[in-house]
Structure 1
């Protein structure tokens, strides 16, 4: 059974509620008078547990599972006399994010929604945004965009760049960078190349107008081999329309953002290769 022993529901109502929340892909917890009374199939699969009793024995309260990282909401951000649901609801919606480890010790990031359908009841939904993490860091804002191409501008990138290595490390990924240099800064060429890049990168990748005739693509990957595939796809599609010179590098153990970018810039100066990996 995936609910507590003290049900504030009739048996039939309980089965209907359990069936409904089990259909949800999000992790769902139901609270009554500040105590968890139900959690759904997605939650059981995520934590590798079959009942709230098991959960309490293994972890104590749910907020104990929130990883204490500055990017996210966690128990250390709860004020005195607040429940964690009250504390997270007091934040702006964009900041209502937690991270938890699944039963395989893999971190996931979740946006959190708390609903109060009846007095004394709370429904908490955890929507997995792990794959959208970089997009959430790089919140869309027109002042952050290059007016000619719609790519992020360099000032914005430099503002958020200290967070990117940390985000990559926290999510067990590697940060990759492709630096793309055009033959000229003629407006129609720059716009054409920008659109081609946008059409051939993933939803979570970041395109930056680095200077008048260069772009930078920032992306997260699971391995250097995966990074090479990402880089080659960009180069192959660009060279079908306009010749460009591209260098790519992947985060090493001691790298910061500046180190990775410097390797790419050095490669463009030191070689005439269409695509170099450094």
Structure 2
């Protein structure tokens, strides 16, 4: 039955259809009149078999039934009806008072009992009680349908939890997961915690955690309150690809519920990455810039000190770079910077970091690399650059200063020693590698050759 406007509670029974099942004709006539006077419509049956058939045909709102009837008794009819519609209110009129009857009634979820001989007023009160409960349930169901409709038309992914249980997932979220309904998702054995990923596609929830634990809810709350972004993999997305979603939530403490909203922030993530690249990358050479290098040095110095690991740096300067700009122009000078940086980037380890230190100077940060290994790397790069013919310019050379972290070093201490070593290399004739050893410097070429260009 549909409702187009609110109906006063006292009149709600007058809008309902009642199925009355009774085999005694005298009782039937008496109670028929009571029900007809207050209900919207009355359907009558003389036994349980007819009552079941009429229920399937008419789909009444409330059932009133006797127990002892021919062909099919009232409790057996009730059991069959409950299989078809578990929530329908059922009133039993009975003269029974034994324990077996009550146990069977409890198992069937009988709503009200009216003892025989039945007083009309008693039956009317039972009908009104069931009508009130039915009205409340239908109003709740109507409100829930409206709420679910609102949730389902939202483009954001939404889920509702009750305690640590998934209560509702909207249509957009189900489509992402690749399921038609929440029930299908739960029956499949899938776990929401397995779908909560980091940027690399690794689960945020320990895969070995108990499926009955609320780790996924704790993870969602923590992520929402911290950085606010979780990654999900759509059902149609290939392995390794994930989509970032910003999470917000509303808590309803009085109902023990949380409502989570997931907004696709792919475009924001891309913009963020582009801004990070712009902020930390040298626009000309594509290497790290000075700002990014500072962060790298900070992190590597702390790690080196904490684990007592070696950390070395190389400072490189293109020899006579001003002459190149003056003779061939600044655009050719830019080409030289790009080619020198590309050559060095191609010949260092993956864990090494190449950055533009400033002007025509570059720095290489090498974690877990000792002074001798760093000297050999610098010598290798020096030789490669000297042997490379650059279009328009021809052959150029570079000078290198190498330094290794000491126990009490700051970043400034380390980089200043590399800078002094580079200065010594430049003063000593250029195209050479100088290593900062304590307070002295040692040239690493076989002989001190003057390669002034």
**TM-score, length-normalised on structure 1?**
0.50
Greater helix share, structure number: 2
The answer (yes or no) to whether the contact 1:144–1:156 under 8 Å persists in 2 is: yes
For residue 275 of structure 1, the aligned residue among 413, 421, 433 is 433
For residue 211 of structure 1, the aligned residue among 353, 358, 363 is 358
Residue correspondence of structure 1 range 84-99 to structure 2 within 5 A: 87=222, 92=227
The answer (yes or no) to whether the contact 1:178–1:247 under 8 Å persists in 2 is: yes
Residue correspondence of structure 1 range 115-134 to structure 2 within 5 A: none
Q: CA deviation at 1:144?
A: 1.1
The answer (yes or no) to whether the contact 1:221–1:227 under 8 Å persists in 2 is: no
Q: CA deviation at 1:254?
A: 1.0
Residue correspondence of structure 1 range 214-233 to structure 2 within 5 A: 214-233=361-380
Q: CA deviation at 1:171?
A: 4.8
Q: CA deviation at 1:221?
A: 1.8
1:240-269 alpha-carbon deviations (Å, 9 max, x no partner): 223100011111111111111111111222
For residue 336 of structure 2, the aligned residue among 189, 204, 211 is 189
Who is 1:266 aligned against? 420
The answer (yes or no) to whether the contact 2:305–2:407 under 8 Å persists in 1 is: no
For residue 152 of structure 1, the aligned residue among 270, 278, 288 is 288
Q: CA deviation at 1:226?
A: 3.0
CA separation of 1:150 and 1:261: change in aligned 2, threshold 3 A: same
The answer (yes or no) to whether the contact 1:248–1:277 under 8 Å persists in 2 is: yes
What is the distance in 1 between the residues matched to 2:373 and 2:366? 11
Equivalent position SS for 1:143: helix
Unaligned runs of 5+ in 2: 1-201, 231-274, 323-332, 389-395, 437-453
What is the distance in 1 between the residues matched to 2:306 and 2:229? 19
More divergent stretch after superposition (143-152 vs 84-93):
84-93
What is the distance in 2 between the residues matched to 1:151 and 1:94? 28
CA separation of 1:259 and 1:200: change in aligned 2, threshold 3 A: same
More divergent stretch after superposition (217-226 vs 184-193):
217-226
1:189-232 alpha-carbon deviations (Å, 9 max, x no partner): 11111111111112221111111111111111253333333333
Who is 2:346 aligned against? 199
What is the distance in 2 between the residues matched to 1:35 and 1:143? 40
The answer (yes or no) to whether the contact 2:300–2:367 under 8 Å persists in 1 is: no
What is the distance in 2 between the residues matched to 1:202 and 1:245? 20
Who is 1:101 aligned against? none
Aligned: 1:30 with 2:177 = no
What is the distance in 2 between the residues matched to 1:260 and 1:234? 21
Who is 1:71 aligned against? none
CA separation of 1:206 and 1:252: change in aligned 2, threshold 3 A: same
CA separation of 1:89 and 1:166: change in aligned 2, threshold 3 A: farther
CA separation of 1:178 and 1:222: change in aligned 2, threshold 3 A: closer
For residue 249 of structure 1, the aligned residue among 396, 400, 403 is 403
Aligned: 1:179 with 2:357 = no
1:82-121 alpha-carbon deviations (Å, 9 max, x no partner): 96897479655999xxxxxxxxxxxxxxxxxxxxxxxxxx
Residue correspondence of structure 1 range 30-179 to structure 2 within 5 A: 30-32=208-210, 33-34=212-213, 87=222, 92=227, 141-179=277-315
The answer (yes or no) to whether the contact 2:312–2:369 under 8 Å persists in 1 is: no
Who is 2:107 aligned against? none
Equivalent position SS for 2:434: strand
Equivalent position SS for 2:397: coil
- C-alpha RMSD of matched pairs (Å): 3.6
Unaligned runs of 5+ in 1: 1-25, 37-81, 96-138
**TM-score, length-normalised on structure 2?**
0.32
The answer (yes or no) to whether the contact 1:172–1:222 under 8 Å persists in 2 is: no
Where relative contact order (Cα < 8 A, 6+ residues apart) is larger, the structure is 1
Aligned residues: 168
